[in-house]
């Protein structure tokens, strides 16, 4: 075995650079293939499973997005209501539509008491 290693090293030293690189790649290919197989399995496992902290982060993100949307609707509703009070009938229709959307969202947005 030791003689084989010395011969491979001697051959690599004698061969030109690109041929030596190809020979080196050929020798190390089984090791790299095994490492890639292990990494691929771990990658698939990571993509398939979701940890509790990732679920919590996703849930928090969804709640934040709903709260932001509800805040936008609330501001739009206030604006439309002010325009409606000034006599703009289209704004009254818009306010009713916005209020309906807010009402539908109300159950999915957590309520915080101050």
Which stretches of 37-109 are assigned E, i.e. beta strand? none
Separation between Cα atoms, residue 86 and residue 80, nearest integer Å = 10
Taking only the tens of pLDDT, the chain with its 114 residues reads: 666 665 666 565 655 556 556 666 666 666 665 555 555 666 666 666 778 888 889 889 998 998 899 999 999 999 999 999 999 999 999 999 999 999 988 877 666 666
pLDDT of residue 16: 59
Q: Is the pTM of this model over 0.75?
A: no
Res 54: pLDDT? 85
């Amino acid at each position: 075995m030791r003689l084989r290693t010395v011969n491979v090293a001697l051959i690599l030293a004698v061969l030109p650079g690109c041929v030596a690189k190809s020979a080196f790649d050929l020798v190390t290919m089984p090791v790299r293939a095994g490492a890639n197989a292990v990494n691929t399995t771990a990658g698939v496992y990571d993509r398939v499973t979701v940890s509790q902290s990732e679920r919590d982060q996703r849930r928090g993100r969804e709640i934040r997005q709903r709260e932001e949307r509800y805040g936008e609707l609330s501001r739009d509703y206030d604006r439309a209501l002010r325009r409606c009070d000034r006599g703009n009938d289209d704004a009254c229709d818009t306010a009713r539509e916005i209020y309906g959307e807010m009402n539908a969202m109300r159950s999915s947005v957590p309520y915080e008491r101050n």
